[in-house]
Structure 1
Amino acid sequence: MNKMMFASDLDQTLIYSYRSCSNENVEIQIKPVEWLEDRYISYMTEMALGKLQHLAQELLFVPVTTRTKLQYQRINFSDYGIFCQYAVTSNGGRIFLNGIEDQDWMRQVSDGRKNCLAVEDLINRFNEIRHSSWVHQNSGKLADDLFFYCLIEREKIPVTELAAFKLWARDNNWELSIQGRKLYLVPINVNKKAAVQYIRAKEGIDQLVAAGDSLLDFDMLKTADFAVAPAHGELYSLYLQRTAGLEGIRFTEKNGIKAGEEILSYVAGTLSRSRDVVV
């Protein structure tokens, strides 16, 4: 039997903030999956949780997130009987096996940083176009000593200046991505694709299904055997613009939290068809 792995982004792919689903008629169907301080802040529909519970028993489910380890640990999948052997955090910069960080992967990531511009120089250049009119004051943060992010007002972005900075950053082996109200600057060697390929080789995975909504997920989706993305987010915007390279990605019909259900149904169908072929 083929060994299958499901590598999936979390935020806006499988889990959703209350703000992102409060306008949908799903309040009575949602279940909390993340607790912060004194309240629940992220949710899945009851149907999506049921599908994920089943899939996690049938294949290798690997959460692959831009969140740091501490941010990832706020997610309470285990309360619903969903246990993850592996977890990829920090946009691929960290891999955990049964909660213990993979030291070999850590060394590979550290070695790869030598080919990227120093983060101090990158931030200094970014500060030349940064302004309080579109970047929240004191919001810039270096996450896990791996990548930088800040809170922004998307509608006030100086489009021309940021586009030029993005090209400059890429020439210096950094990637810029905007997800919701956050702008990310990530070194090119810290990526989800490489982390997932590392796990795939280590576990002898025959088929990879991947899901994600942003440019930070794009390479992971391109190298998967099957790829699916929600009908919202960066990738969907590029799809609507007929951007080349997205042909191999299947987009859901629904957007918002309901897209999570559709993604998991797609994975379940792919698993079922794979077993039928093997038989």
Structure 2
Amino acid sequence: MSVLVATDLDRTMIYSQAAMGDAQFATLDTVCVEIYRDAPLSYMTTTAVELLSRLADEIPVIPTTTRTPAQYERIALPGGPFRYAVASNGGRILVDGTDDPDWRRKIERVVSASGAGLDEVLTELRARVDDSWVRSLRIADDLFCYLVVEPAAQPDEFLPSWQDWCAARGWTASQQGRKIYATPRSVTKSAAIAEVRRRLVDDGTVPADAKLCAAGDGWLDTDLLSAADHAIRPRHGELELLGWSAPGLDVTAATGALAGVEILEWFHDRCSVRTASAPGRPSARSVGTS
């Protein structure tokens, strides 16, 4: 094998009905891939299920998410079980579904040496928000935190000011829809994927010159997209709103769950995976370079 794939999940591979939009959701054949509190939450199209299953059959695919391990485990992702997955925005590497404690200890050492601690960030964040626009403040994996907000009521000045405060203390702040994340700058998806790639090279799964293909839609994916040999983002989400680009980055033509299909077709093309035609399959091959 001469290639591996690292892909973000939410709004890249999997979609809530809200993320698709009611009109798109009503017209697509979908499969529920996540149940939360006894209700369906996340979906993929039947075509995306087929494409991801075939991709994972032929090359190493590493699900790469900001979700905590517990949140990741709620997803019945096609193509699994996956040998490696990256969770907590790079703070965890899962090996055959089990947390790698050595990686976690390394992350904790790096974070403690590189900036403010989580307690300091939480104290400052609580002083800046109120319940007129914040629904909840959540701590993820004792590593980072995020707000769940009402965007229409969110003060315009909050995010830029909060980003400046975080940047001066070794953290980064970004907004994805109703969630505003604060994460240590030293905890990245790209670093965790580099470690996984090293292990795959060391055990002979991929050659030393194996290419990395990556996909993601949010600011927390930018380091991964920049580090990849080939990268793509959907034409929606935080990076679309920011107009973010990078040399060689591709951008889908489609939005919503059809962008997920397009990304998987793009992976198949870049990875030379055999792609059988399927009746009624939506084609999304008009990928453009941003």
TM-score by length of 2: 0.87
Please list every run of 5 or more consecutive structure 1 residues that lacks an aligned counterpart in the other structure: 274-279
Q: Which residue of 1 aligns with 2:285?
A: none
Q: Deviations along 1:93-139, whole A, 9 cap, x unmatched?
A: 11011012112211210111111202121122222321222211xx1
* Mapping 1:149-228, distance limit 5 Å: 149-204=146-201, 205=206, 206-228=210-232
Q: Deviations along 1:156-178, whole A, 9 cap, x unmatched?
A: 22222431221120110111111
Residues 156 and 248 of structure 1: CA distance in aligned 2, closer, same or farther (over 3 Å) = farther
Contact kept? 1:236, 1:251, Cα under 8 Å: no
Q: Which residue of 1 aligns with 2:235?
A: 231
Please list every run of 5 or more consecutive structure 2 residues that lacks an aligned counterpart in the other structure: 274-290
Residues 11 and 131 of structure 1: CA distance in aligned 2, closer, same or farther (over 3 Å) = same
What is the letter of the counterpart of residue 116 of structure 2?
Answer: L
Deviates more, 1:20-29 or 1:34-43: 20-29
Q: Which residue of 1 aligns with 2:55?
A: 55
Q: Secondary structure at 1:87's aligned position in 2?
A: strand
What is the letter of the counterpart of residue 12 of structure 1?
Answer: R
Q: Deviations along 1:177-217, whole A, 9 cap, x unmatched?
A: 11111111111122111111111111125110000000000
**In structure 1, what is the Cα distance between the partners aligned to 2:82 and 2:230?**
21
- Poorly superposed stretches of 4+, deviation over 6 Å: none
Contact kept? 2:219, 2:238, Cα under 8 Å: yes
Residues 246 and 28 of structure 1: CA distance in aligned 2, closer, same or farther (over 3 Å) = closer
Q: Secondary structure at 1:24's aligned position in 2?
A: helix
Q: Secondary structure at 2:74's aligned position in 1?
A: coil
Paired-residue identity, %? 38
Residue 103 in structure 1 maps to residue 107 in structure 2: no
Query: How many equivalent pairs are there?
Result: 264
TM-score by length of 1: 0.90
Q: Which residue of 2 aligns with 1:255?
A: 255
Contact kept? 2:81, 2:96, Cα under 8 Å: no
Residue 14 in structure 1 maps to residue 13 in structure 2: yes
What is the letter of the counterpart of residue 162 of structure 1?
Answer: L
Q: Secondary structure at 1:13's aligned position in 2?
A: coil
Contact kept? 1:52, 1:82, Cα under 8 Å: no
Q: Which residue of 1 aligns with 2:128?
A: 129
Q: Deviations along 1:28-60, whole A, 9 cap, x unmatched?
A: 510110112322110000001100011001111
Residues 246 and 185 of structure 1: CA distance in aligned 2, closer, same or farther (over 3 Å) = same
Residues 36 and 27 of structure 1: CA distance in aligned 2, closer, same or farther (over 3 Å) = farther
Deviation (angstroms), 1:238: 1.9
Contact kept? 1:152, 1:181, Cα under 8 Å: yes
What is the letter of the counterpart of residue 104 of structure 1?
Answer: D
Contact kept? 2:68, 2:87, Cα under 8 Å: yes
